[in-house]
Structure 1
């Protein structure tokens, strides 16, 4: 197998492609030939050390492929099944791997594997944000940061299908049309305009019940400002850098706000939760309520460039790695 390995934390240059021997799957595992691998911002956190992992380590949480071997105790999956995953253990950046079935889902016939590899992390994130963390209602106005990004494009379409009035922020004028084409009613360039003031204009001074913020450090205070009394701040990412410690007396207490820091792991703790989330994601795609377009494809040997592109925000949608 070919696999990307990190031996020390750092920049994209620490990503190494190595030839490794793949053993037999354990009793509860299957061997998967990865057809496409998802490229996600959390991968840069594992690489940089922001989210520390034991080293040396594989990297990557998301991929889709075909089962080539099954462990002795595996009953619900068979050789030839098309499958996808977006959970630990790390190691999705590989041509083949052994993977536990408890975190694996089957890909329906109406979804190709390259699309599936872009959907698991971003789609399930959107599902839990909109249906579990803060269940958005038809007619409600919501704000999502990084509206032109991989999660943002899915979120905009999904929220619009629920009947929400969707506000998005982007980092450049070039990304405004991308966001608008993915369901956003209002798009704000937060590098040119004060997005909190713009939100107050859009809501006639009322503010929002919820802000979904995957950007982090640079948008946190403005997001708090956008919320009305008893609103919810959903902080789920660090694209602009890790959050500073939260001053509860300054940020939360004045309006009695709720603050949550969710992740996929907390919403897919059981087989039932994982299947519910994955099935809903695949349903949104097969019914056409959510459409995805892969913006770029990389090979494993170009993995350092893929991370550079991801961190520089030049990608205009989901990207995949083809091993």
Structure 2
């Protein structure tokens, strides 16, 4: 096997703390698989580990989402064999040429889905799945506001919701990005006037749910856009962590609900992971959602990819190629 290498954060800070190092992945233990990787997904959560917002020991192996082929199988495993294509969207260490993963966190990639598309979609697509299907069971005709709608999760979520018949109001940071979003209403610009525009579009009622992966900058606009007893799903912190929340703000806004979910609580068991991945791959194979890979970086250029992501210069999904 050729020398393995990975990208790690040697300290907490900006993208320049990311460094390349050789490592020995070793052989998989009981219940583990060794993967030779073809593609790695870039996600905002990767920047949280790099900056220290999410704690992890240093040096921190970065990345959670990847796809490749099994090159070695540990003991006690049924259902996987050398040569199988698999994806994984949990743990750390995806920014690497090789990776050992627990077999119960691996997902078989079906025919018709490429490894690049799987790497671009595993984390973002399964996130869109649980947001659209498991947190609130939206019905056709209900209304959702999706922030960062041209981004990795947002672009998938818009198509997923529209397939359910949900009326989608999309919001993006620029007119150029908004023009690429196939929502019922595609908005862009500052958050100051967003809630008023949403009220106009909904006849004053507001939306049933807001999907907010932006965080601090969008928080007030999200609350103000909700209808009475509406739900704010805060699933990311692209602009920084949400400030301390007063429960009285939820009362004054109309008995509002707020949840701060993570994917891993929705795919905690083997059965939940298989169910969620199955729903994602079904929609990929039917053309409901697609990877929409906007850019590719060499894995060795992970720092440049982080800079582009944090500057909101990416569109759709971004993958890193070892």
Per the TM superposition, whether the score is higher than 0.5 is yes
Indicate the SS of the match to 2:50. Answer: helix
Instruction: Please report how far the alpha carbon of residue 253 of structure 1 lies from its aligned counterpart in structure 2 after TM superposition.
Output: 5.1
Aligned residue number for residue 91 of structure 1: 93
Give yes or no for contact 2:191–2:218 (8 Å, CA) kept in 1. Answer: no
Instruction: Please report how far the alpha carbon of residue 301 of structure 1 lies from its aligned counterpart in structure 2 after TM superposition.
Output: 1.6
Distance 1:192 1:80 in 2: 48
- Detail structure 1 runs of 4+ shifted over 4 Å in the superposition: none
Deviations 1:98-137 (A, max 9, x none): 1111111000011000000011111101110010011211
Give yes or no for contact 1:17–1:300 (8 Å, CA) kept in 2. Answer: no
Distance 2:145 2:306 in 1: 27
Q: CA RMSD in A?
A: 1.1
Give yes or no for contact 2:39–2:319 (8 Å, CA) kept in 1. Answer: yes
Aligned residue number for residue 27 of structure 1: 30
Aligned residue number for residue 137 of structure 2: 135
Greater shift in the superposed pair: 275-284 or 293-302:
293-302
Distance 1:38 1:239 in 2: 17
Distance 1:54 1:298 in 2: 26
Q: When the two structures are superposed, what TM-score results if normalisation uses the length of structure 2?
A: 0.97
Instruction: Please report how far the alpha carbon of residue 211 of structure 1 lies from its aligned counterpart in structure 2 after TM superposition.
Output: 0.7
Indicate the SS of the match to 2:38. Answer: strand
After the TM superposition, which residues 98-177 of structure 1 pair with which residues of structure 2 at under 5 Å, given as runs?
Answer: 98-177=100-179
Distance 1:135 1:220 in 2: 23
Instruction: Please report how far the alpha carbon of residue 251 of structure 1 lies from its aligned counterpart in structure 2 after TM superposition.
Output: 3.4
* 1:58 aligned residue (61, 67, 84): 61
Aligned residue number for residue 209 of structure 2: 210
Distance 2:161 2:198 in 1: 17
Distance 1:174 1:45 in 2: 27
2:267 is the alignment partner of 1:265: no
Distance 1:112 1:234 in 2: 31
Distance 2:270 2:101 in 1: 15
Distance 2:281 2:191 in 1: 36
Distance 1:147 1:254 in 2: 24
Distance 1:278 1:150 in 2: 17
- What number of residue pairs does the alignment pair up? 319
Distance 2:187 2:278 in 1: 32
Indicate the SS of the match to 1:178. Answer: coil
Distance 1:254 1:220 in 2: 13
Give yes or no for contact 1:85–1:105 (8 Å, CA) kept in 2. Answer: yes
